[in-house]
């Protein structure tokens, strides 16, 4: 569930930054926008997915995967407050 939510945010963020670029010549998303809307969700997605891959391959540390997924879901709440401008 955490992977799907972060993946959807990465896809939405990619679309948002692409829309800034397509508004006209000379307009580019800032580095902070790229970091916040694309790189943070991708990094969270990769972290949870790699942990899931490792846990499924080793068949141990399932509690670690549950903890990491829970942290990723809890981190989604403050991220969304900043993502939407606090509204």
pLDDT of residue 19: 85
**What's the pTM?**
0.83
Closest to 1 (Cα-Cα) out of 45, 39, 53:
45
Locate the domains of the chain by residue range. Answer: 2-83
pLDDT of residue 61: 87
Whether residue 41 contacts residue 10, with contact meaning beta carbons closer than 8 Å, is answered with: yes
Helix (H, G, I), strand (E, B) or coil at 4: helix
Residues 49-67: what's their mean pLDDT? 91
> How far is 15 from 44, CA to CA, in rounded Å?
18
Interacting residues of 73 by C-beta distance below 8 A, sequence separation 6+: 1, 2, 5
Give residue-wise pLDDT tens across range 31-40.
888 899 999 9
Of residues 25 and 72, the one with the higher pLDDT is 72
Q: Is the pLDDT of residue 87 over 70?
A: no
């Amino acid at each position: 569930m955490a992977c799907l939510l972060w993946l959807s945010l990465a896809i939405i963020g990619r679309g948002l930054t692409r829309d800034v670029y397509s508004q006209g010549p000379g307009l580019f998303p800032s580095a902070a926008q790229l970091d916040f809307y694309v790189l943070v969700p991708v990094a969270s997605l990769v972290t949870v997915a790699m942990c899931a891959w490792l846990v499924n391959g080793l068949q141990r540390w399932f509690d670690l995967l549950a903890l990491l997924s829970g942290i990723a879901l809890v981190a989604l709440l403050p991220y969304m407050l900043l993502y939407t401008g606090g509204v």
